[in-house]
Amino acid sequence: MLHKKLVKFDNDFLWGASTSAYQVEGANLVDGKGPSCQDVKEVPEGTSDLTVCADHYHHFKEDIALMAEMGFKTYRFSISWSRVLPQGTGKINPKGIEFYNQLIDECLKYNIIPFVTMFHFDMPAALDEKGGWSCPESVEWFLEYARVLFKNFGDRVKYWLTINEQNMLTLAGQVIGALHLPKGCTNEMKEIYQQNHYMLVAQAKVMSLCHDMNPDAKIGPALNISLVYAASCRPEDVIAAQNFNAIRNWLYLDASVYGVYNNLVWAYLQENDACPEFADGDAEALKNGHPDFIGFNYYNTATCQESDGTETDNPVADQQTTGGAAGLYRAYRNEYLEMTEFGWEIDPVGFRGTIREIYSRYRLPMIVCENGIGAYDQLVDGRVHDSYRIQYLREHIEQIQLAISDGCEMMGYCPWSAIDLISTHEGMVKRYGFIYVDREEFDLKQLKRYRKDSFYWYKKVIATHGRDL
């Protein structure tokens, strides 16, 4: 490949890492916190519940000190809706406000910028019982929650992410345990895309609210974006890839940025009698909500070929494993890509391709909110030799730099995850952190923290502004 002249990472590039409340905090039913849908869902077979996780709720000062030791410029974490509003609306939990005030202040103590996700797969159970995102009222619920966040934390939090991976909630919601269908639902697709519509409208209104309440803050989506490849140059495979790109990616970004439904997806919904109902003002709300940046999670690309009509729309294995949609696209295993121990394809070059595609479509600054490799890390004599994670992250950071050199505006990089935590459905054993948490799936041990090899490596990457990988 021709050697490209590389543009250096800016000195104000936001190096950090990510967690989510339900996967890292623990203390899921103490200090006034109400249950979320994650706390009441059936725990995946053989995995731990969420009562402890990494116990970040009690260890956050130690954890943030370790993040500061790595030199983090930012820490992307989420706020638990039901820790702040135990019933989802109405009464505020003062201990919840107190915890997040302390968490934010601890970040600021080290000049770490809090990058806050408002909603990360954890709808309050009390609202879920009312129908969750199936309810038209869900828009107002989310706005009420947003007002509480902006009022209590808006003086110190200047970067907000609205809904983590709304596209995965829509496409793989049942697997994540975060989206449900009302009993007796007769048109599942219509129901799911109606829920998605309420989330799009809620997001748009919250972005407008943020700009009204905290004009100096910036807000954006946090979608899981995977550029979709055609399995071959066969024209029908290219059309299939366009279909899946629209359904998986562009529906959500077109709506977030331009306030309109992607035409391919709208046509698909029309064909299936699954178009969402618009309430008065929805179209205007979508048009009026504007992100200041695009946050996105990247784990890999997807590949598909022309449908042969046999695909079913059963829930996919997980958020990174392409399913298929009869008549639209068929999943394809990309033979050019290796896989992780958990069956996720690895595609650093596709990361550059994904960044380029997003930037060319939307022309907004971007921050990577998740990227990483889940693995069976082993603690041996107090060390974790996660050379595979260093290699994965190095290869992906190299591609960010190429994308920057391609003229794409990149604000920051927050790998998943800052510290070991509970996987969406593989429990504690699927580890992602720079910091090892010494517990097993069911044996909590002492929850002692250990610096992995990747901790020291990432510290050096940050200290050299990405020059020494």
Which position among 332, 423, 428, 439 is part of the footprint of ligand BGP (CB under 6 A)?
Answer: 423
Any contact of residue 319 with ligand BGP (CB under 6 A)?
Answer: yes
Asked if residue 166 binds ligand BGP (CB under 6 A), the reply is: no
36 binds ligand BGP (CB under 6 A): no
The nearest distance, CB 430 to ligand BGP, in angstroms, is 5
Which residue among 25, 165, 191, 357 is the active-site one? 165
Q: Which stretch binds ligand BGP (CB under 6 A): 197-205, 246-254, 327-335, 423-431?
A: 423-431
Rounded-to-integer distance, Cα 261 and Cα 242, Å: 15
Q: Which residue is nearest to ligand BGP (CB)?
A: 423
Q: How far is the CB of 417 from ligand BGP (least distance, A)?
A: 7
Are residues 319 and 168 in contact, defined by beta-carbon separation less than 8 angstroms?
yes
Closer CB to ligand BGP, residue 165 or residue 282? 165
Question: According to the binding rule CB under 6 A, does residue 254 interact with ligand BGP?
Answer: no
Active site residue 165: yes
Residues 6+ apart with CB under 8 A from 415: 17, 18, 368, 370, 371, 372, 393, 432, 434, 458
Q: Which of 54, 168, 384, 418 binds ligand BGP (CB under 6 A)?
A: 168
Cis link prior to 417 (omega < 30° from 0)?
yes
Q: Give the interface segment with ligand BGP, choosing from 46-54, 130-138, 387-395, 416-424 (CB under 6 A).
A: 416-424
Instruction: Report the residue number, 23 or 334, with the smaller CB distance to ligand BGP.
Output: 23
> Residue 293 Cβ, how far from ligand BGP at the closest point, in Å?
18
Query: Least separation, in Å, of the C-beta of 297 and ligand BGP?
Result: 6
Is 20 a binding residue for ligand BGP by CB under 6 A? The answer is: yes
Contact between 165 and ligand BGP (CB under 6 A)? Answer: yes
Q: Which residues contact 424 (CB under 8 A, 6 or more apart)?
A: 23, 121, 175, 176, 177, 318, 319
Work out how close the CB of 422 gets to ligand BGP at its nearest, in angstroms, rounded to a whole number: 8
Q: Of 8-16, 151-159, 209-217, 418-426, which part binds ligand BGP (CB under 6 A)? A: 418-426
From 31-39, 212-220, 398-406, 417-425, span contacting ligand BGP (CB under 6 A): 417-425
Of 164, 195, 256, 399, the residue at the interface with ligand BGP (CB under 6 A) is 164
Least spacing, CB of residue 310 vs ligand BGP, in Å:
27
DSSP lists the bridge partners of residue 410 as: 366
Task: Identify whether 370 is a catalytic site residue.
Answer: yes
What's the distance, Cα to Cα, between the start and end of the chain in Å?
A: 20
266 to 295, contacts with ligand BGP by CB under 6 A?
none
For residues 356-392, one letter each, b for 16 or more C-beta atoms within 10 angstroms of the residue's C-beta and e for the rest, the string is bbbbeebebbbbbbbbbbbbebeeeeeebebeebbeb
Looking at the Cβ atoms of 401 and 423, the one nearer to ligand BGP is: 423
Select the span of 97-105, 122-130, 149-157, 162-170 touching ligand BGP (CB under 6 A).
162-170
Nearer Cβ to ligand BGP (38/214): 38
Among residues 76, 83, 430, 439, the one that binds ligand BGP under rule CB under 6 A:
430
CA atoms within 13 A on the CB side of 17: 29
Map the footprint of ligand BGP across residues 210-239, applying CB under 6 A. Answer: 224
How many residues of this chain bind ligand BGP (CB under 6 A)? Answer: 17
Smallest gap, in angstroms, from Cβ of residue 20 to ligand BGP?
5
Position 33 contacts ligand BGP (CB under 6 A): no
Q: Which of 167, 307, 424, 454 binds ligand BGP (CB under 6 A)?
A: 424
**Dist CA 169 CA 177 (whole Å):** 9
User: Alpha-carbon distance 319 to 353, whole Å?
Assistant: 19
Among 86-94, 161-169, 261-269, 379-387, which window interacts with ligand BGP (CB under 6 A)?
A: 161-169
Burial of 157 (0-12, 13-18, 19+ CB in 10 A): buried
Q: Of these residues, 25, 106, 345, 370, which one is catalytic?
A: 370
Near ligand BGP by CB under 6 A: residue from 318, 406, 438, 453:
318
Should residue 374 be labelled a site residue for ligand BGP when binding is judged by CB under 6 A?
A: yes
Q: Which residues here bind ligand BGP, judged by CB under 6 A?
A: 20, 23, 164-165, 168, 224, 297, 318-319, 370, 374, 416, 423-426, 430
Q: Mind telling me the catalytic residues?
A: 165, 370
